[in-house]
């Protein structure tokens, strides 16, 4: 485990103390009939469509450890458990690799299980409190300094041989922020939290304790007749990425109480009573409420079309994709209506649009979403 000390203070209020590369711990590896080291994990159509998307970035804000353990002691313990968790998710210690076939005008991207490791950062922000992060209406800009590999997309990692996974532990004045960044080109949010929860349990229970979190399923699933690896119709990797530059915006979280969500669901279902056998879920009711509120706030002309896209998980919907699948397994369900329809027809009508968009994605539709025009390899 190589450690590099640093005194970087370029991010407002955050000082990076050290960076290290964490290799997978053998004691944490999942039982597998195949030794993955040196193997290549080919990316599926679901993976490849995420190469131009930002890294998944999530974290947890914690109070100071009750034992008073801080500094290197805390960081070393988290780094050790991170290595054991990485042993189960061994491919994420590898690197994305690019094969450019100039004579064919195609490029193929894969995940090489090199075992090079994930980045692990220790930082301090002594001037930032838990309240600064949690009590603010808007997300403070300093929060983005809590995440490693910020601003990268999957293709950046492939082009620069950057880690696909990184973690950062930032000590605040009265708490700790534990963050993780994972390339969306190799996994989705469900796989992200599977890894994060594995890390959390291993950190709580210690090195020799049995882990109840199930191991991931590392084998990738490809639809029938799909070439492996998949040739992308681009001359080089740079042609894939179209960067979206936007001005800085304020970001915030909205909190809805359980009682408020319950009332929204009851109202939505009451408004669509008699519209077949559809039952509007709590999430669909809440998303419809947000959709209508945003449409009003944007003051769109009544005839303008507005859409709401929901990511729908394929685990449990596609038979050959198990719950522990450690790749991307999501498709998009999009509901469409004019701004006037959203405003005039009520919560239930809007929620029913979302319900029908999600319900339309049966297994056949999800498999159909993978239909791409594969480049001939003749």
Cβ 125 vs Cβ 15: under 8 Å: yes
Task: Report the distance separating Cα 180 and Cα 22, nearest Å.
Answer: 13
Task: Report the distance separating Cα 292 and Cα 351, nearest Å.
Answer: 10
Long-range contacts of 239-243 (CB under 8 A, 24+ apart): 240/51, 240/52, 240/107, 240/155, 241/51, 241/52, 241/153, 241/155, 241/156, 242/52, 243/153
DSSP result, 324-361: TB-S--EEEEEEEEEHHHHHHSHHHHHHHHHHHHHHT-
CA angle at residue 311 from 268 to 55, to 5 degrees?
A: 135
- The answer to whether the peptide bond before residue 61 is cis (omega within 30 degrees of 0) is no
pLDDT at residue 30, as a whole number: 44
Mean pLDDT for 148-162 is: 85
Q: Is a pLDDT exceeding 70 seen at residue 3? A: no
Model confidence pLDDT, tens digit, residues 317-375: 998 899 999 999 999 999 999 999 999 999 999 999 999 999 999 888 888 777 643 43
Task: Report the distance separating Cα 166 and Cα 179, nearest Å.
Answer: 8
The residues near 308 (Cβ < 8 Å, ≥ 6 apart) are: 287, 291, 334, 335, 353, 354
Report H helices in 235-377.
Answer: 258-271, 282-298, 339-344, 346-359, 363-368
pLDDT at residue 1, as a whole number: 55
Distance of CA 279 to the CA centre of its chain: 29
Model confidence pLDDT, tens digit, residues 71-84: 788 899 999 999 99
Find the helix packing angle between 258-271 and 346-359, rounded to 10°: 90
Distance set, CA 31 to CA 97, 251, 323 (Å): 26, 42, 17
Q: Is a pLDDT exceeding 60 seen at residue 102? A: yes
Beta strands 175-182 and 305-313, pairing class: unpaired
pLDDT at residue 372, as a whole number: 44
């Amino acid at each position: 485990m190589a450690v590099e000390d640093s005194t970087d203070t370029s991010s407002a209020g955050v000082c990076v103390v050290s960076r290290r590369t964490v290799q997978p711990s053998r004691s944490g590896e999942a039982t597998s009939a195949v030794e993955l080291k040196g193997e290549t994990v080919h990316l599926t159509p679901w993976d490849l469509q995420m190469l131009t998307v930002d890294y998944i970035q999530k974290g947890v804000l914690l109070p100071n450890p009750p034992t008073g353990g801080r500094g290197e002691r805390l960081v070393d313990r988290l780094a050790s458990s991170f290595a054991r968790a990485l042993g189960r998710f061994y491919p994420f210690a590898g690197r994305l690799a690019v094969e450019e076939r100039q004579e064919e005008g195609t490029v193929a991207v894969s995940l090489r299980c090199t075992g090079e490791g994930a980045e692990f950062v220790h930082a301090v922000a002594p001037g930032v409190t838990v309240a600064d992060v949690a009590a603010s209406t808007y997300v403070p800009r300093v929060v983005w300094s809590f995440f490693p590999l910020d601003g990268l997309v999957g293709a950046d990692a492939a082009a620069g041989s950057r880690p696909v996974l990184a973690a950062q532990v930032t000590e605040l004045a009265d708490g700790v922020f534990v963050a993780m960044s994972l390339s969306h080109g190799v996994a989705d949010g469900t796989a992200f939290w599977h890894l994060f929860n594995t890390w959390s349990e291993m950190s709580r229970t210690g090195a020799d304790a049995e882990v109840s979190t199930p191991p991931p399923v590392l084998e990738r699933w490809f639809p029938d007749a799909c070439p492996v690896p998949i040739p992308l119709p681009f001359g080089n990797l740079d042609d894939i990425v179209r960067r979206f530059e936007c001005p800085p915006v304020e970001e915030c979280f909205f909190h809805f109480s359980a009682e408020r969500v319950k009332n929204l669901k009851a109202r939505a279902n009451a408004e669509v009573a008699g519209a077949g056998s559809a039952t509007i879920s709590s999430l669909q009711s809440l998303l419809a409420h947000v959709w209508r509120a945003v449409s009003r706030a944007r003051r769109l002309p009544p005839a303008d079309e507005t859409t709401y896209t929901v990511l729908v998980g394929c685990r449990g919907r596609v038979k050959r994709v198990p719950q522990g699948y450690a790749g991307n397994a999501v498709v998009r369900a999009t509901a469409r209506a004019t701004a006037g329809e959203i405003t005039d027809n009520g919560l239930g009508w809007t929620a029913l649009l979302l319900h029908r968009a999600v319900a339309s994605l049966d297994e056949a539709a999800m498999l159909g979403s993978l239909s791409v025009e594969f480049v001939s390899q003749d």
